[in-house]
Chains A and B, each alone.
Chain A
Amino acid sequence: MASVTFDEVTKVYPNGYVGIRDLSLDIADGELLVLVGPSGCGKSTALRMAAGLEEITGGELRIGDRVVNHLPPKDRDIAMVFQNYALYPHMSVRQNIGFALKLARVPKDELNQRVDEAARLLQLEPWLDSKPGQLSGGQRQRVAMGRAIVRDPAVFLMDEPLSNLDAKLRVQMRTEISNLQQSLATTTIYVTHDQVEAMTMGHRVAVLKDGRLQQVAPPEVLYAEPDNTFVAAFTGSPSMNLVEGTLQRGPDGGHSIELGAQRLELPPELVASRPGLAAYAGKPVIVGIRAEALDDAGVERLDAGPVGTVTGIVERREALGAEILVHVEIEARPVVTDDVRDLAAKSDESVVAKLEQQAAVGRATLVARFDPHSRVRGGEQVTLSVRTDQLQFFDVDSGLAVRGSG
């Protein structure tokens, strides 16, 4: 058991590419920290530095209170689970799991006992004498887990361990790994590019982008109060709606947001809790609206709170059973920062084209999570009720959340 500390850790690859820049991160003993970010952001690099597979070119990495920068992997008391399992194909499951113990010259009785224990925990007992080639993907993943837990290391490092499994198995293994980590209480760094995995598994989630840490916080905080537009656009499914509006200060001292010709009154408590907001009066600001802060104004809201309204045209509705996702086009400038462009481009190039086209004519699409009773259809005009107390604000230039005075 140990904590892991990244202290301004930097990785510059031999070709000059900066994989990780000044990463500072404290992972508490027994915590499961998820490292998440788009492909190529440096998640694996960070993890491999912790494992000792990649040289650390700057800063200090501590496991417990030992500086491990120059220790080889085997002296760091860590175990790693690889994305593609990396099982030893010529060894049986038993030998795979027991390999590390065997190299550590653990007595045979104890070795067998610990392998059996790990196999029991992972329900691998029937396959102990099989070769990896005879196992299914989920079983192979379990063997890889077994190889890690049998050593009882201070830290688990997992690099996208579930990304090769099908969707259903992934959900199941997600729970299994969470439970396992919970019961073993071993400090764990878990890398994934899947924000759903990150939000459901992590005690805390660290979001990386281009080798830089964007925010590290518990999932609820990350979701509710993202530090910048990148985190806002990356987390949640659907991700946070980001539109540009203008903050207006009324003669009575109350504030409102102008979205095109429409206006949303802001509750005074919201403005009071964000002292920095006052400085934006009369200026454009990015407004972040979660899908669940929007609903059909024609249906009674179940949640209570200050509400404003915005009208728009329904583009599309996706019925998901318990809820409906409705895409509504309103009059407002969409936010097309590099972050948004990058993230959209990852899923679909046409999304970016559409965004830019919309930006040119000053119309933005909001994704709203409607009550299933709503009867809106594509092409219709709809009035959205907006929970104004749940709005988030970001600076137009820096993309940083507007919070304190500043």
Chain B
Amino acid sequence: MTATTSTTPSSPSGNAAQPSAPRRTRRGLYGVLSAVPTGVLWFLVALWSLPTMGMLVSSFREERAVKRTGWWTVVTDPQLTLDNYRAVFSTQGTDAPDLWQHFWNSVAITVPATIIPIAFAAFAAYAFAWMEFPGRRTLFVVVVGLLVVPLQLSLVPLLQLYTGGAHLTVFGETLTLFPDLDLNGTPTAVWLTHIAFGLPLAIFLLHNYFAALPKDLIEAARIDGADHLTIFWRMVLPLSVPALAAFAIFQFLWVWNDYLVAVTFVGGARDNAPLTVRLASLSGGRGQDWHLLTAAAFVSIALPLAVFFSLQRYFVRGLLAGSVKG
């Protein structure tokens, strides 16, 4: 076939208008960026992922090989092994990496620390966005203002709270504000902290999304007989899935990768340590064992990747298509 045959004759009626319609000219930063050839972008992607690639390959190479040659020699000498992974999951010996246990510790911290703030924040954000009550604005500003509380500053007070509770002594009477739950060293201490620090941002983000939903839509539902709870479940939540998914991923990654909070509250209790804390101690104690460290790093990357790709399909645009016009 020659090139000339591939041009399809355009029908004189409807079709002809389509290609000749003037394109909206692209301008500004977007215009500049969209002019970059795809090849260049692929090159950047490759460059950016190269270190990760190296780690992935190294995690499958033998200890000797890792220490003597670069990972790229795998191209000419493809000798791969699962030994490293077996080693990081092993429970034998006194200082065995035992990553399965720490993996589950991480899950036990991350799951409640992701789900609970979303659930709480969604209700709060709805109330701030669509319910009339006195002091609504002030309260919202206060909640969002909590975003500026520095995590580092509150670690020691929190540690005290978890080990001894909070008590106030006035006129000889001791008032217990927070009971001594002896949480120090438990995963609960970690996820409680993450919930507390995640809530303001969650409320802020979800509020902004909820409030931007068309007012007419909510009013139409009210006229149709819906109360706040119905509007929340049947209108606002289904239409806010992208925002919920976005925050879920955000919070999940943040908690999964957190080291500071975890090391503060369960650093001393090795059995309860999440992956990050264990990884850090491994690289301290076995800094020479690159083959093990790379494998361990990949164990900790696996779940976030899975979560990201499974939630990705909820990032859909045009959820509101056809609802309101004007």
Residue positions of A touching B, CB distance < 8 A: 51-53, 72-74, 78-80, 82-90, 99-100, 103-104, 131-135, 137, 140, 147, 151, 163-164
Interface segment among B107-115, B211-219, B273-281: the answer is B211-219
Interface segment among B177-185, B194-202, B253-261, B316-324: the answer is B316-324
Q: Are B226 and A86 in contact (CB under 8 A)?
A: no
**Which A residues are in CB contact (< 8 Å) with B225?**
74, 100, 103-104
Q: Are A86 and B324 in contact (CB under 8 A)?
A: yes
Complex formed: what's the CA distance from A99 to B225 in Å?
Answer: 9
Q: Are B239 and A90 in contact (CB under 8 A)?
A: yes
Q: Are B324 and A100 in contact (CB under 8 A)?
A: no
Q: Are A164 and B239 in contact (CB under 8 A)?
A: no
Q: Are B322 and A140 in contact (CB under 8 A)?
A: yes
A89-B321, A103-B230, A132-B321 given; A83·B326 CB < 8 A: yes
**Which A residues are in CB contact (< 8 Å) with B216?**
82-84, 86
A82-B216, A84-B216, A103-B230 given; A89·B322 CB < 8 A: yes
**Which B residues are in CB contact (< 8 Å) with A80?**
219-220, 223
Q: Are B224 and A99 in contact (CB under 8 A)?
A: yes
**Which A residues are in CB contact (< 8 Å) with B220?**
80, 82, 86-88, 147
Complex formed: what's the CA distance from A188 to B75 in Å?
Answer: 78
| Nearest chain B residue, comparing its CB with the CB of A82 | B216
Report B272 CB to chain A, min CB distance, Å: 42
Complex formed: what's the CA distance from A52 to B220 in Å?
Answer: 11
Complex formed: what's the CA distance from A90 to B214 in Å?
Answer: 14
Complex formed: what's the CA distance from A147 to B323 in Å?
Answer: 13
Decide if B222 is an interface residue (CB 8 Å cutoff). Answer: yes
Q: Are B217 and A88 in contact (CB under 8 A)?
A: yes
A–B pairs, 23, beta carbons within 8 Å: A51-B223, A73-B223, A79-B223, A80-B219, A80-B220, A82-B220, A82-B324, A83-B216, A84-B216, A86-B214, A86-B323, A87-B323, A88-B220, A88-B235, A89-B239, A89-B320, A103-B230, A104-B225, A131-B321, A133-B321, A140-B322, A151-B224, A164-B326
**Which A residues are in CB contact (< 8 Å) with B222?**
53, 72-74
- Kindly list the 3 A-B residue pairs having the minimum CB-CB distance in the complex, ordered from nearest: A132-B322, A133-B321, A133-B322
**Which B residues are in CB contact (< 8 Å) with A73?**
219, 222-223
Residue positions of B touching A, CB distance < 8 A: 214, 216-217, 219-227, 230, 235, 238-239, 318-326
A53: contacting residue among B214, B217, B219, B322, CB under 8 A? B219
Q: Are A84 and B224 in contact (CB under 8 A)?
A: no
Complex formed: what's the CA distance from A133 to B217 in Å?
Answer: 14
Which of B216, B226, B235, B322 has most A Cβ within 10 Å? B322
Q: Are B322 and A87 in contact (CB under 8 A)?
A: yes
B323: contacting residue among A74, A79, A88, CB under 8 A? A88
| Nearest chain B residue, comparing its CB with the CB of A130 | B322
A53-B222, A90-B319, A147-B224 given; A85·B235 CB < 8 A: no
Report A170 CB to chain B, min CB distance, Å: 14
Q: Are A84 and B326 in contact (CB under 8 A)?
A: yes
Q: Are A74 and B325 in contact (CB under 8 A)?
A: no
| Nearest chain A residue, comparing its CB with the CB of B321 | A133
**Which B residues are in CB contact (< 8 Å) with A100?**
223-225
Report B136 CB to chain A, min CB distance, Å: 13
Which of B222, B235, B323, B324 has most A Cβ within 10 Å? B323
Q: Are A90 and B238 in contact (CB under 8 A)?
A: yes
Q: Are A85 and B230 in contact (CB under 8 A)?
A: no
**Which A residues are in CB contact (< 8 Å) with B235?**
88
Report A102 CB to chain B, min CB distance, Å: 9
Report A167 CB to chain B, min CB distance, Å: 16
Q: Are B224 and A137 in contact (CB under 8 A)?
A: no
Report A258 CB to chain B, min CB distance, Å: 49
**Which A residues are in CB contact (< 8 Å) with B230?**
103
Complex formed: what's the CA distance from A163 to B325 in Å?
Answer: 10
Report A40 CB to chain B, min CB distance, Å: 16
Report B315 CB to chain A, min CB distance, Å: 16
Q: Are B325 and A164 in contact (CB under 8 A)?
A: yes
| Nearest chain B residue, comparing its CB with the CB of A78 | B223
A89-B319, A133-B318 given; A84·B223 CB < 8 A: no
Q: Are A134 and B217 in contact (CB under 8 A)?
A: no
**Which B residues are in CB contact (< 8 Å) with A90?**
238-239, 319
Complex formed: what's the CA distance from A140 to B320 in Å?
Answer: 13
| Nearest chain B residue, comparing its CB with the CB of A81 | B220
Complex formed: what's the CA distance from A100 to B225 in Å?
Answer: 6
Q: Are B219 and A134 in contact (CB under 8 A)?
A: no
Complex formed: what's the CA distance from A213 to B147 in Å?
Answer: 51
Complex formed: what's the CA distance from A151 to B223 in Å?
Answer: 11
Complex formed: what's the CA distance from A88 to B319 in Å?
Answer: 10
**Which B residues are in CB contact (< 8 Å) with A79?**
223
| Nearest chain B residue, comparing its CB with the CB of A140 | B322
Which of B214, B216, B227 has most A Cβ within 10 Å? B216
Complex formed: what's the CA distance from A90 to B227 in Å?
Answer: 18
**Which A residues are in CB contact (< 8 Å) with B238?**
90
Complex formed: what's the CA distance from A155 to B260 in Å?
Answer: 62
Report A84 CB to chain B, min CB distance, Å: 4
**Which A residues are in CB contact (< 8 Å) with B325?**
84-85, 137, 140, 164
Report B320 CB to chain A, min CB distance, Å: 5
**Which A residues are in CB contact (< 8 Å) with B321?**
89, 131-133
**Which A residues are in CB contact (< 8 Å) with B323?**
85-89, 132-133
**Which B residues are in CB contact (< 8 Å) with A86?**
214, 216-217, 219-220, 323-324
Q: Are B224 and A103 in contact (CB under 8 A)?
A: yes
Complex formed: what's the CA distance from A52 to B224 in Å?
Answer: 12
Complex formed: what's the CA distance from A133 to B316 in Å?
Answer: 14
**Which A residues are in CB contact (< 8 Å) with B221?**
88, 99
Known: A89-B321, A132-B322, A132-B323. 8 other contacts (CB 8 A): A53-B219, A53-B222, A80-B220, A82-B216, A82-B324, A87-B323, A100-B223, A100-B225
